[in-house]
C-alpha cells in the first residue's frame, strides 16, 4: 500500500528551505501554518512537515510543569542561559488549553523572559490560543518538529498544572520536570497525583533567603514520596528524584541541567528514548484516529438519539452496553446511506 | 426516541424472581449468563439486567487491591466477619484480567476464605476467566448489579496490582482500598503511582509480631505521601488516609470498617456517591461505544492497510494525523459499501 503523503507546494518548499537553514522568520511562518485552522493551511502544514520529517534522535524534549507563581519563567531564563552556555540551541513552547478561558496565554508576554528572548541561541513561542487540548497538543507536536528541523536540539514544552495538559505534554517529551514552591509542614501544594506519576525530576524552586530551609524540607518530603512509588522503565539509577534550586541566586540550576543531561544520555544509550518516541507516535495516531472516528460518528448519529441514550444510561434505565449497542445500530444505518 | 430494552424471556423472568428473593442458585445462574460469551446468553443477560435495574443507592461498593502475598484473603475473611456482624450482606467478586495468563484465578480457590464461604450472609464469586480487561470489567459490573438485586448491600471487588485493572475497578466502585505489607526504610513496594492516585484508604496489613514497628513506619511514610497529593472532590475530612491492621490478630480491622462506613455515609449524604455512579455509567457507555466503534472500524478496514499506516507512523515517515486521515478515508469507503 502506498504511504499517504501530500505533494509539497512551492510555498512550503521555500519555507522548508528557510527552516533547514535556521531562518527564524521561516520558522515563524511554518508555525503559523501549523497553528492555522484553515483547510488549505492544514494541507500545506502537512506537506511542510512531511518534507522536514527525519531523524531527530539527538534532540532532547523536556516537559515542564508548575502552578502559576512557582517561578517558571525565571527558572526557564536561568536554565536557558545554562543550556545555551553549554552549546545547546533551545526552543521554549507552551501548551495551555486554558488560555481561551483565562484570556491570557502563559507565555503570551515574551518580556517575562526578556534575556532569553534576546538570546540568538533561543527561540520562544507563545501558546497557541484556543481549541481543545487535542488540537493544542497536535499543534505543539508539530511545532516541536519544526523547531528541531530548524536546528534547536533542546525543546522545553511548558504547561500549567491544570487537568490533562501534563499528560499530553509528557506524551510529546522525553523527560518531565515538575516545579514546586517550598511549602511548610502540612501546607498542601495540591499536586495532582497523576502528575507525580509522570515526573522524572521534581525541582523545589525559590530555595533562597528565608525559604531555604523550608525548600529543603519540601524536597525531602517529595523525595520520600517518590521513593514509595515505582520507577518508569528505562529510568537511570536514582530517578525520579527531587532537588532544590534558586532561580534568583542560580543555585542548583546547573545541577538540574546536569541531571537532565544524564537522564537523557542514559535513555538515549539504552534505546529507551527512541522506542518511547516511536510508541508516542503510535499513541498519537491512535488518539487522532479515535478523535476522527468520534467525529464521523457524531456527524452520522442524530444528537437527540445520542443524548436520549446518554440520559437513559445516566438514570440507570439502560445498561451502558445496551446503550452502546443501540447507538452502533443507528450509526451503521446512517453510514450505509453515505 | 424509545429506549432500547429487550423483552424478558420466560427463563430470565424465573431467574429474576429467584434473585429478588435472594436465592443463591438463581444468582449463580444469572452470573453464569452474564459471564457467557454466547450471543443468546448475552441477550438473556441484558434482559435479566434490565428487569432487575433499580435503585441500589444503599449499597456500598468497595474496590480492594494488593499485590500477591499481602494477605488479601485473610484480610477479607476478617473484614467480612466484621461487616456481616454489623448486619451487612457481603458479596466478594474478583477482577483479574491476568488469570488467563497465570492460569490461576485470584479467587479460584474459595477455600482461601473458608469461613466467609460458609457464612450465609456472604457470597463469594471467583474471577471470570479469560477475555480482555474490558470484557472482564463488563462482566464484573453486571455481576455487581445481580448481587445487589439479590440483597447484598456491600460488594467488595478484589483485584491484583497489575496494570489497568485497578483503574477499571475504581470506576465500578464507591471507595478504593489499597492493601500493603510493612516494608522497612528504602525497601520499595513498587506501588504504581496511578494507584496512589485512586486510593481512599491505604491499609498496611500484617501489623503484628515482629512487623508491628515496621508497619507503623510504613503507615507514616504513606500518610506523608498522601498528604502531598490532592484530595478527590467529595472526600470526607481526613481522606485519603493510611492505617495499620492485623488480619491475624484482628487489630485495626474494625477501625477500617468504621472508616469505610464513615466515608460511604459522607459521600452518600453529600450526593457525591449518586452523582459519581451516574458519571461512572456514562463513562462505561463511552468506553463501550469506543470499543464497539473500534470493532466496526477493524471489521471495515483491511488489516494490512492498518498495519502499514501504523508502521509508517512508528518510523516517523508519516505524521500521526496524516495517518489517521488516510485510515478514515478507507473506512468511509468501506462503510458506504455496507
Model confidence over A280-322: pLDDT tens digits?
A: 999 999 989 988 999 999 999 999 999 999 999 998 888 898 8
**What is the distance between the alpha carbons of residues B315 and B206, in angstroms, rounded to a whole number?**
50
Subunit contact A284:B317, Cβ cutoff 8 A:
no
Quickly state the pLDDT bin for B230 (edges 50, 70, 90). Answer: low
DSSP state of B8: P
CA proximity to A140, closest of A88, A97, A192 = A97
Complete domains list, chain B, with CATH? 1-54 (1.20.5.170), 56-270 (3.40.50.300), 283-337 (no CATH)
Q: Which residue of chain A comes nearest to B189, CA vs CA?
A: A228
Q: Cα distance from A82 to chain B (closest Cα, Å)? A: 30
Subunit contact B331:A296, Cβ cutoff 8 A:
yes
The x, y and z cell numbers of residue B34, run together, are: 452474564
Model confidence over B135-167: pLDDT tens digits?
A: 788 889 999 999 999 999 999 999 875 557 888
Q: Cα distance from A63 to chain B (closest Cα, Å)? A: 19
In this predicted structure, the answer to whether residue A24 has a pLDDT above a threshold of 70 is yes
Q: Cα distance from A289 to chain B (closest Cα, Å)? A: 5
Highest mean pLDDT among A221-230, B69-78, B98-107, B125-134: B69-78
In the predicted model, what is the mean pLDDT of chain A? 85
**What is the distance between the alpha carbons of residues B44 and B309, in angstroms, rounded to a whole number?**
40
**A253-269 and A272-300 helices, crossing angle to 10°:** 90
Subunit contact A336:B336, Cβ cutoff 8 A:
yes
In this predicted structure, the answer to whether residue B88 has a pLDDT above a threshold of 80 is yes
Give the nearest partner residue to A225 out of B6, B194, B224, using CB atoms: B224
Q: How far is CA A202 from CA A116, B97, B192, in A?
A: 23, 34, 18
The predicted pLDDT at position A124 comes to 93
The predicted pLDDT at position B193 comes to 64
Least confident interval from A52-61, A250-259, B171-180 = A52-61
CB pairs under 8 A between A and B: 217
In this predicted structure, the answer to whether residue B264 has a pLDDT above a threshold of 70 is yes
DSSP state of B232: P
CA proximity to A32, closest of A151, A112, A126, A117 = A126
Subunit contact A314:B188, Cβ cutoff 8 A:
no
Subunit contact A324:B288, Cβ cutoff 8 A:
yes
Least confident interval from A9-13, A128-132, A209-213 = A128-132
pLDDT-above-70 percentage for chain A: 84
Contacts of B3 in chain A (CB under 8 A): 308-309, 312, 317-318
The predicted pLDDT at position B239 comes to 87
Q: Which residue of chain A comes nearest to B183, CA vs CA?
A: A228
Using omega within 30 degrees of 0 as the cis cutoff, is the peptide bond preceding B226 cis? no
The predicted pLDDT at position B232 comes to 58
Is A249 buried (19+), middle (13-18) or exposed (0-12) by CB count in 10 A? middle
Mutant choice from A48, A321, A328 vs B, greatest count of B C-beta within 10 A: A321
The predicted pLDDT at position A235 comes to 58
In this predicted structure, the answer to whether residue A100 has a pLDDT above a threshold of 50 is no
Q: Cα distance from A45 to chain B (closest Cα, Å)? A: 11
Contacts of B334 in chain A (CB under 8 A): none
Contacts of A176 in chain B (CB under 8 A): none
> What is the radius of gyration, based on Cα positions, of chain B?
22
Give the nearest partner residue to A191 out of B54, B222, B228, using CB atoms: B228
pTM score > 0.90 for this model?
no
CA proximity to B126, closest of B47, B62, B190, B35 = B35
The predicted pLDDT at position B57 comes to 60
Q: Cα distance from A202 to chain B (closest Cα, Å)? A: 13
Subunit contact A336:B335, Cβ cutoff 8 A:
yes
The predicted pLDDT at position A293 comes to 92
The predicted pLDDT at position A243 comes to 97
**What is the distance between the alpha carbons of residues B253 and B205, in angstroms, rounded to a whole number?**
10
Q: Cα distance from B9 to chain A (closest Cα, Å)? A: 16
Least confident interval from B20-34, B111-125, B143-157, B294-308 = B111-125
Subunit contact A230:B323, Cβ cutoff 8 A:
no
Q: Which residue of chain A comes nearest to B191, CA vs CA?
A: A229
Give the nearest partner residue to A50 out of B224, B319, B325, using CB atoms: B319
In the predicted model, what is the mean pLDDT of chain B? 85
Subunit contact A325:B138, Cβ cutoff 8 A:
no
Contacts of B332 in chain A (CB under 8 A): 296, 335
Contacts of B196 in chain A (CB under 8 A): 193, 196, 228-229
In this predicted structure, the answer to whether residue A108 has a pLDDT above a threshold of 60 is no
Subunit contact A296:B50, Cβ cutoff 8 A:
no
Give the nearest partner residue to A320 out of B189, B284, B293, using CB atoms: B284
Which residues face A175 on adjacent strands? A62
Quickly state the pLDDT bin for A102 (edges 50, 70, 90). Answer: very low
Subunit contact B194:A190, Cβ cutoff 8 A:
no
What number is the average pLDDT over the span A214-237?
Answer: 77
In this predicted structure, the answer to whether residue B249 has a pLDDT above a threshold of 80 is yes
Subunit contact B193:A189, Cβ cutoff 8 A:
no
Q: Cα distance from B123 to chain A (closest Cα, Å)? A: 23
DSSP string, B16-74: HHHHHTT-HHHHHHHHHHHH---HHHHHHHHHHHHHH----TT-EEEEEE--TTS-HHH
DSSP state of B131: S
In this predicted structure, the answer to whether residue A46 has a pLDDT above a threshold of 50 is yes
Q: Which residue of chain A comes nearest to B310, CA vs CA?
A: A282
Which residues, at least 6 apart from A79, have a Cβ–Cβ distance to it below 8 Å? A156, A253, A256, A257
Using omega within 30 degrees of 0 as the cis cutoff, is the peptide bond preceding B240 cis? yes
Subunit contact B293:A288, Cβ cutoff 8 A:
no
Subunit contact B53:A319, Cβ cutoff 8 A:
yes
The predicted pLDDT at position B129 comes to 61
Give the nearest partner residue to B318 out of A5, A287, A336, using CB atoms: A5
Higher pLDDT, A9 or A268: A268
Q: Cα distance from B197 to chain A (closest Cα, Å)? A: 5
Q: Cα distance from B228 to chain A (closest Cα, Å)? A: 6
Contacts of B324 in chain A (CB under 8 A): 285, 288-289, 291-292
Contacts of B336 in chain A (CB under 8 A): 335-336, 338
Subunit contact A288:B230, Cβ cutoff 8 A:
no
Amino acid at each position: 500500500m502506498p504511504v499517504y503523503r501530500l505533494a509539497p507546494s512551492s510555498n512550503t518548499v521555500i519555507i522548508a528551505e528557510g527552516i533547514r537553514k535556521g531562518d527564524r522568520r521561516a520558522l515563524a511562518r511554518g508555525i503559523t501554518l501549523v497553528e492555522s485552522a484553515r483547510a488549505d493551511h492544514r494541507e500545506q502544514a502537512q506537506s511542510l512537515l512531511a518534507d522536514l520529517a527525519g531523524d531527530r534522535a539527538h534532540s532532547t524534549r523536556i516537559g515542564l510543569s508548575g502552578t502559576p507563581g512557582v517561578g517558571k519563567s525565571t527558572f526557564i531564563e536561568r536554565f536557558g542561559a545554562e543550556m545555551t552556555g553549554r552549546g545547546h540551541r533551545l526552543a521554549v513552547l507552551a501548551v495551555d488549553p486554558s488560555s481561551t478561558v483565562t484570556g491570557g496565554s502563559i507565555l503570551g508576554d515574551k518580556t517575562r523572559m526578556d534575556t532569553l528572548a534576546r538570546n540568538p541561541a533561543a527561540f520562544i513561542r507563545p501558546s497557541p490560543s484556543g481549541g481543545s487540548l487535542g488540537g493544542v497538543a497536535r499543534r505543539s507536536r508539530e511545532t516541536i518538529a519544526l523547531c528541531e528541523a530548524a536546528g534547536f536540539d533542546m525543546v522545553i514544552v511548558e504547561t500549567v498544572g491544570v487537568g490533562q495538559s501534563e499528560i499530553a505534554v509528557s506524551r510529546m517529551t522525553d523527560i518531565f520536570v515538575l516545579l514546586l514552591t517550598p511549602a511548610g509542614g502540612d501546607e498542601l501544594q495540591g499536586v495532582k497525583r497523576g502528575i507525580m506519576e509522570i515526573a522524572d525530576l521534581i525541582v523545589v524552586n525559590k530555595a533562597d533567603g528565608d525559604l531555604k530551609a523550608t525548600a529543603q524540607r519540601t524536597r525531602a518530603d517529595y523525595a520520600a514520596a517518590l521513593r514509595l512509588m515505582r520507577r518508569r522503565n528505562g529510568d537511570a539509577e536514582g530517578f525520579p528524584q527531587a532537588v532544590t534550586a534558586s532561580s534568583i541566586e542560580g543555585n542548583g540550576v546547573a545541577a538540574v541541567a546536569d541531571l537532565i543531561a544524564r537522564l537523557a544520555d542514559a535513555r538515549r544509550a539504552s534505546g529507551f528514548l527512541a522506542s518511547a518516541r516511536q510508541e508516542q507516535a503510535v499513541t498519537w495516531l491512535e488518539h487522532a484516529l479515535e478523535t476522527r472516528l468520534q467525529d464521523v460518528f457524531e456527524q452520522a448519529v442524530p444528537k437527540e438519539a445520542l443524548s436520549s441514550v446518554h440520559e437513559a444510561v445516566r438514570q440507570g434505565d439502560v445498561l451502558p452496553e445496551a446503550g452502546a449497542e443501540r447507538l452502533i445500530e443507528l450509526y451503521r444505518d446512517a453510514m450505509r446511506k453515505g
